[in-house]
């Protein structure tokens, strides 16, 4: 109990008493500890209004802010075999899946969508760290392949937002096989001459970094995102020495030549529009908050006409 | 002296007794111990068969890591002629955890690439226990490009605990190097055949094993994470590696069932290290067969088939 839960919350609850009130009105910044009001925080794309720290953002929330008018159409992802290895640790894999689905309201750890950003048709794929650590299994492989195929079909760029602890251990070797599998998807885009932009968000590690997340034509990261193959704890245990400040963070990688850019979340949309339109040979961007595309020109038809 | 694994202790005792008896007989010529020693040999042989008939996944990991198991260098020395090592990534260094170069395999020129763990303290340190740094993967990429340019088949020998988790390795782009190596495997218009000869450790292995044909020695393992690593994450207890090894399905049989591995190469009774020459010869036979299977295929077909193989992988799980 603290002063906020004792004093502020009851007051706020009384103000909104006649309406459905979300469970957590206040969220504490993981970095500076400032209490942030939930609406202000989500309007700022989960970036702390006090210190600029980038907190996790689900793909759905990200896409709502990314696409014009918040409108996008989900791309179907083929369902993989459930629990291919009949994996059991302390819990059964299907039980872990069920609880992740219940907690997140999502089916799996990647969301693929098509729509327009600044009137620029794109395909976007977003990885959801809140769903079993965003881990890469057969579904993520299927999602990236579906995203690449759709991009090739509609001749659109693919923008991928990565966030994952790595491979999904519960799918054993099949999760490892998503490294070559997703690399084939990246090759499909390359051969079609379509841009593949990777936005690395906190954290992107392990087999995900060592495959599709490092193969973009342009590599952009969010500030302070942890991006690595082996995590800092594993390295400290191996080499038995303390790691330097900021090691494996986005800015450190930028300094070491591993990234093109580090861009704050608030500027990301405009930057993506600018880059994608140049790579696609399109006229300069229309930015700002745009309404949803007019319904009569459904994105798919428009691309087909081109 | 044989290097026994923990589960081979009873065997070590019997074989030790037989050895002791014979040593006594050598000192004392009147003693005739041969009958007794032979009986012990027979008992040891039975026990060995019994132990290896039902190796658990964790025991297979131990056999796969056995210090006397033939390593990459042993295969290259025995199976390849005119081996000409080619070094360096042209950017930073030459990684000794990865060996490779031009060689002839049954007379045909090839490019051979593999992880080398080393076989004594000095060489193990020099080879970094077979854990490659970015330079190793970048050297491999360079060699694959060479093979592609001159139309030479590529043979890779996989034996690594994983890519090296170090500060410099991370700074120089370990993940990017692995990703590019896997990508290169998928691009080259020449046959790639791969043999998992010991440990196929995670991304560090995939970077070499994204091949048209993948074979695996009977007691090798190939996994997304080491059983110890998996146990410490999912069981919160690294000592649960036996359970983790079981759950991960890292044995040759399971991997063949999942379509990850095309061919299992049998090992002599008691593991590859008990009869290295036979093991090496068996691997040679498998490489020859795999290369022959692919020899008539044109470059674009090899690329297309390799891609399809990996795209289709995992479409069915293990049988219930």
Does some domain include residue B2?
A: no
More confident residue, A251 or A241: A251
**The total number of structural domains that make up chain B:** 2
Same-domain pairing of B225 and B86: yes
Chains A, B: CB contacts within 8 A come to 171
pLDDT exceeds cutoff 70 at A298: no
Same-domain pairing of B167 and B235: yes
Does some domain include residue B4?
A: no
What is the reported pLDDT for A306? 44
B249/A172 Cβ within 8 A: yes
Count CB atoms within 10 A of the CB of residue B218: 21
Q: Do B111 and B148 contact (CB within 8 A), yes or no? A: no
**Which residues of chain A lie closer than 8 angstroms to B175, CB-CB?**
209-210, 213-214, 227-229
pLDDT exceeds cutoff 50 at A1: no
CA distance A275 to A281: 10
DSSP state of B224: S
Chain B residues 201-220 within an 8 A CB cutoff of chain A: 202-203, 206-207, 210
- Tokens matching residue A126: 């977003």
Same-domain pairing of B19 and B76: no
**Which residues of chain B lie closer than 8 angstroms to A210, CB-CB?**
163, 174-176, 178-179, 182, 203, 207
Chain B residues 146-165 within an 8 A CB cutoff of chain A: 163-165
**Min Cα–Cα distance to chain B from A296, Å:** 36
B173/A181 Cβ within 8 A: no
Chain A residues 148-187 within an 8 A CB cutoff of chain B: 167, 169, 171-177, 179-181, 183-184, 186-187
H-type helices in B219-270, by residue range?
A: 227-230, 241-248, 252-257
Q: Domain containing B122 — which CATH number?
A: 3.90.226.10
- Read off the pLDDT of residues B136-182 as tens digits, 9 standing for 90 and up: 999 999 999 999 999 999 999 999 999 999 999 999 999 999 999 99
Does some domain include residue B8?
A: no
Same-domain pairing of B152 and B215: yes
Q: Do B284 and B278 contact (CB within 8 A), yes or no? A: no
Count CB atoms within 10 A of the CB of residue A3: 9
Same-domain pairing of B25 and B139: no
DSSP state of B232: I
- Tokens matching residue B237: 């207890």
Domain of residue B50, residue span: 14-54
Same-domain pairing of B282 and B146: yes
**Min Cα–Cα distance to chain B from A181, Å:** 5
DSSP state of B163: S
Does some domain include residue B105?
A: yes
What is the reported pLDDT for A279? 97
pLDDT exceeds cutoff 50 at A272: yes
Going residue by residue through chain B, which has 320 residues, state the pLDDT in tens, using 9 for 90 and above: 578 999 999 999 999 999 888 888 888 877 787 888 888 999 999 999 999 998 999 999 999 999 999 999 999 999 999 999 999 999 999 999 999 999 999 999 999 999 999 999 999 999 999 999 999 999 999 999 999 999 999 999 999 999 999 999 999 999 999 999 999 999 999 999 999 999 999 999 999 999 999 999 999 999 999 999 999 889 988 899 999 999 999 999 999 999 999 999 999 999 999 999 999 999 999 999 999 999 999 999 999 999 999 999 988 778 76
A209 contacts chain B (CB < 8 A): yes
Same-domain pairing of B150 and B32: no
What is the reported pLDDT for B46? 92
Does some domain include residue B1?
A: no
What is the reported pLDDT for B1? 55
Does some domain include residue B219?
A: yes
Q: Which long-range CB contacts under 8 A does B85-89 form with residues at least 24 apart?
A: B86/B139, B86/B142, B86/B143, B86/B146, B87/B139, B88/B135, B88/B139, B88/B142, B89/B134, B89/B135, B89/B136, B89/B138, B89/B139, B89/B141, B89/B142
Same-domain pairing of B94 and B173: yes
Same-domain pairing of B20 and B152: no
Element (H, E) at B109: strand B108-115
CA distance A255 to B200: 33
Element (H, E) at B205: helix B202-209
What is the reported pLDDT for A242? 86
What is the reported pLDDT for A88? 87
In the beta sheet, which residues pair with residue B155? B112, B193
Element (H, E) at B201: strand B192-201
Same-domain pairing of B37 and B142: no
The CA-atom distances, in angstroms, between A116 and each of A124, A289, A302 are: 10, 12, 11
What is the reported pLDDT for A305? 46
A84/B223 Cβ within 8 A: no
B144 contacts chain A (CB < 8 A): no
Same-domain pairing of B229 and B296: yes
Does some domain include residue B6?
A: no
Q: How confident is the model at residue A289 (pLDDT cuts 50, 70, 90)?
A: confident
For residue A168, the chain B residue with the least C-alpha distance is B224
What is the reported pLDDT for B2? 73
Same-domain pairing of B30 and B157: no
**Which residues of chain A lie closer than 8 angstroms to B165, CB-CB?**
229-230, 234-235, 238
Does some domain include residue B196?
A: yes
A194 contacts chain B (CB < 8 A): no
pLDDT, mean over chain A? 89
- Read off the pLDDT of residues A152-210 as tens digits, 9 standing for 90 and up: 999 999 999 999 999 999 999 999 999 999 999 999 999 999 999 999 999 999 999 99
What is the reported pLDDT for A78? 96
**Which residues of chain A lie closer than 8 angstroms to B163, CB-CB?**
210, 229-230
CA distance A303 to A151: 11
- Read off the pLDDT of residues A94-132 as tens digits, 9 standing for 90 and up: 999 999 999 999 999 999 999 999 999 999 999 999 999
A196 contacts chain B (CB < 8 A): no
What is the reported pLDDT for B268? 94
């Amino acid at each position: 109990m603290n002063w906020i839960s004792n004093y502020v919350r009851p007051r706020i609850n009384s103000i909104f008493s006649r309406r459905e009130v979300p469970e957590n009105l206040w969220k504490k910044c993981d970095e500076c500890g400032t209490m942030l009001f939930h609406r202000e925080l989500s309007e700022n794309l989960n970036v702390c209004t006090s210190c600029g720290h980038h907190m996790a953002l689900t793909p759905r929330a990200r896409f709502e802010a990314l696409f014009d008018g918040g409108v996008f159409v989900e791309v179907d992802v083929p369902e993989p075999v459930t629990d291919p290895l009949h994996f059991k640790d302390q819990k059964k894999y299907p039980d872990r899946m069920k609880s992740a689905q219940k907690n997140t309201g999502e089916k799996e750890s990647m969301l693929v969508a098509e729509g327009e950003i600044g009137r620029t048709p794109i395909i976007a794929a977003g990885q959801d760290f809140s769903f079993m650590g965003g881990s890469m299994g057969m579904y993520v492989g299927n999602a990236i392949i579906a995203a690449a195929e759709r991009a090739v079909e509609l001749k659109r760029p693919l923008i991928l937002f990565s966030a994952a602890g790595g491979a999904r251990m519960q799918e054993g070797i099949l999760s490892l096989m998503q490294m070559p599998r997703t690399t084939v998807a990246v090759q499909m885009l390359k051969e079609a001459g379509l841009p593949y932009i990777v936005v690395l968000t906190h954290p992107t590690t392990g087999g995900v970094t060592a495959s599709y997340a490092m193969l973009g034509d342009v590599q952009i990261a969010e500030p302070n995102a942890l991006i690595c193959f082996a995590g800092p704890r594993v390295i400290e245990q191996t080499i038995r020495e303390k790691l330097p400040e900021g090691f494996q963070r986005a800015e450190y990688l930028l300094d070491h030549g591993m990234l093109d850019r580090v861009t704050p979340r608030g500027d990301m949309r405009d930057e993506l529009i600018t880059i994608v339109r140049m790579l696609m040979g399109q006229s300069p961007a229309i930015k700002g908050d745009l309404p949803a595309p007019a319904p009569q020109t459904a994105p798919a038809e428009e691309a087909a006409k081109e | 002296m044989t290097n026994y694994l923990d589960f081979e202790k009873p065997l070590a005792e019997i074989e030790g007794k037989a050895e002791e008896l014979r040593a006594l007989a050598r000192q004392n010529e009147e003693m005739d111990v041969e009958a007794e020693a032979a009986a012990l040999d027979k008992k040891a042989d039975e026990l060995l068969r019994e132990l290896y008939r039902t190796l658990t996944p964790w025991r297979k990991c131990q056999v796969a890591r056995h210090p006397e198991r033939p390593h990459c260098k042993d295969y290259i020395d025995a199976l390849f002629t005119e081996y000409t090592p080619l070094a360096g990534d042209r950017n930073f260094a030459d990684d000794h955890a990865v060996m490779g170069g031009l060689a002839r395999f049954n007379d045909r020129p090839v490019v051979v690439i593999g992880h080398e763990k080393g076989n004594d303290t000095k060489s193990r340190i020099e080879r970094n226990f077979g854990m490659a740094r970015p330079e190793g993967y970048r050297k491999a990429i360079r060699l694959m490009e060479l093979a592609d340019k001159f139309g030479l088949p590529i043979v890779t020998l996989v034996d690594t605990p994983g890519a090296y988790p170090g500060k410099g390795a991370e700074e120089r782009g370990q993940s990017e190097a692995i990703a590019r190596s896997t990508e290169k495997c998928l691009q080259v218009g020449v046959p790639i055949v791969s043999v998992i000869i010991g440990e196929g450790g995670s991304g560090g292995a995939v970077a070499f094993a994204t091949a048209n044909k993948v074979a695996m020695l009977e007691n090798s393992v190939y996994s997304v994470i080491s059983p110890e690593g998996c146990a410490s994450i999912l069981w919160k207890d690294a000592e649960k590696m036996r359970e983790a090894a079981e759950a991960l399905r890292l044995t040759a049989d399971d991997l063949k069932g999942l379509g990850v591995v095309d061919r299992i190469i049998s090992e002599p009774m008691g593991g590859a290290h008990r009869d290295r020459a036979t093991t090496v010869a068996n691997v040679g036979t498998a490489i020859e067969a795999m290369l022959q299977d692919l020899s008539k295929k044109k470059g674009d077909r090899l690329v297309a088939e390799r891609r399809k193989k990996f795209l289709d992988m995992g479409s069915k799980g293990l049988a219930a």
